[in-house]
Amino acid sequence: MNLKQLSHMLSLSQTTVSRALNGYPEVSEETRRRVMDAAKRHGYRPNPSARRLATGKSGMIGYVLPTGASVDIDPHFVEFLSGLGDYARSHELDLVLSPADADDEETTYRRIVANRQVDAVYLSAPRPADKRLALVNTLGIPFIVHGRSEGFDFDYPYLDIDNEGAFHEAGRLLVQLGHKRLALINGNDRETFAIHRERGMRRALAASGLMLGERHVCSLTMTEENGYRAARRLLEDSDPPTAIACSSLIMALGVVRAVRDLGLTIPGDLSLVAHDDVFPWLRPENFPVPLSTTRSSIRLAGARVAERLAARISGLEEVARGEVWPVDLVVRGSVAGAPV
């Protein structure tokens, strides 16, 4: 059942039927009803390929997925996806994942824009002065960034959490508990979120005249193993920290293991706070000692990104504004006063 057939059986032109269906005003209400009715009755669904060729709109949103033998997709991605999918579903939006060589994403961005494969894209894990961001901005495709970049002279739409604020809070709590030697086990410090977290920590310490020593900041991809290694290195030092803030629950698993291996205890010898993106399969309250966290649901972020993406496509969201979500500090058993 295509437009031709439908219009023929209604004794109307394709133009009118198309317009009736798409809500254009140059068609009488009565005709519109007739058309809508017949369309529904016969289960007419416009052919997306045809519509696409005619309009250039695809009804899909895109994401360029960096891949490669040595590239791991962040497990956070599925949670984000859950949220994104949850919104997209109710709006019949599909998501196109375009795998790209991690060393050359530009080609892929250019391709999907040139091919008009998607109506909008989102970027994640941005870095300061991120090239991808500059690229999509000049390519002119609607986009939104999950996270933030820095150092651009133009505004761009993004959704981020207050990483600096979160780690400022966490740091302040630890300082208030009397800790003087703190450490930060961070994610990749070329990404903005990690920079912001470090900044937050430093600010909290500085407020009490403390410093985050060079050797007390680690920047690693967020695996259990890296958490373990970083913690061991820190704790076996001559001047070990009494409190650690950690950028992910997965790394925190490694930290906990290291603490155990060294015969230390949490929170007796070490206070620990970690950032929690809220995974259904690993919860901070279920750590051997319930873990204090800075918490923000990445899933909700996914849904919000989808929502704003849809708004940008339809022109409802015009200005390129940034949106920053506050982060909860949830205090549990893993923090205590500094050991004497």
At residue 170, the 3 state secondary structure works out as helix
Vertex 169 angle, CA 258 and 275, to 5°: 45
Residues 6+ apart with CB under 8 A from 294: 166, 167, 169, 170, 273, 274, 275, 276, 327, 328, 329, 330
Q: Could you tell which of DNA, a second copy, none binds residue 114, using a CB distance below 5 to 8 A set by kind?
A: a second copy
> For the window 122-161, what string marks contact with a second copy as x by the rule CB under 8 A?
----------------------------------------
Query: Can residue 284 be called a binding residue for a second copy (CB under 8 A)?
Result: no
Dist CA 59 CA 94 (whole Å): 7
Between 114 and 340, name the residue whose CB sits nearer to DNA.
114
Give contact residues for DNA (rule: CB under 7 A): 2-4, 11-16, 18-19, 21-22, 26-31, 44, 46-47, 49-51, 53-55
Query: Can residue 77 be called a binding residue for a second copy (CB under 8 A)?
Result: yes
Between 181 and 229, name the residue whose CB sits nearer to a second copy.
229
Residues 6+ apart with CB under 8 A from 336: 177, 267, 268, 271
> Residue 9 Cβ, how far from DNA at the closest point, in Å?
12
Burial 251-285 (b: 16+ CB within 10 A, else e): bbbbbbbbbeeeeeebbeebbbbbbbbbbeeeebe
Interface positions, 264-283, toward a second copy (CB under 8 A): 279-283
Q: Is there a contact between 133 and 109 (Cβ–Cβ < 8 Å)?
A: no
> Residue 48 Cβ, how far from a second copy at the closest point, in Å?
5
> Residue 202 Cβ, how far from a second copy at the closest point, in Å?
27
Interface positions, 79-108, toward a second copy (CB under 8 A): 79, 81-82, 84-86, 88-89, 92-101
Query: Can residue 109 be called a binding residue for a second copy (CB under 8 A)?
Result: no
Annotate 239-264 with three-state secondary structure. Answer: CCCCEEEECCHHHHHHHHHHHHHCCC
Query: Can residue 73 be called a binding residue for a second copy (CB under 8 A)?
Result: yes
Q: Could you tell which of DNA, a second copy, none binds residue 67, using a CB distance below 5 to 8 A set by kind?
A: a second copy
- Identify the CA nearest to 183 among candidates 231, 151, 135, 115: 231
Phi/psi for 29 (5° steps) reads -60, -35
Interface positions, 18-57, toward a second copy (CB under 8 A): 45, 47-50, 52-53, 56
> Residue 58 Cβ, how far from DNA at the closest point, in Å?
12
Number of other CB atoms surrounding residue 315 within 10 Å: 8
Interface positions, 224-253, toward a second copy (CB under 8 A): 224-225, 228, 250, 253
Strand partners, 182: 243
Number of other CB atoms surrounding residue 176 within 10 Å: 11
Query: Can residue 263 be called a binding residue for a second copy (CB under 8 A)?
Result: no
Q: Could you tell which of a second copy, DNA, none binds residue 239, using a CB distance below 5 to 8 A set by kind?
A: none
> Residue 306 Cβ, how far from DNA at the closest point, in Å?
23
The number of helices, as runs of H, and strands, as runs of E, in the chain is: 12, 12
User: Quick one: which H or E segment has residue 123?
Assistant: strand 120-124
DSSP 43: T
Which residues are near a second copy by CB under 8 A? 45, 47-50, 52-53, 56, 58, 60, 65, 67-69, 71-75, 77-79, 81-82, 84-86, 88-89, 92-101, 111, 114-117, 222-225, 228, 250, 253-254, 257, 260-261, 279-283, 286, 288
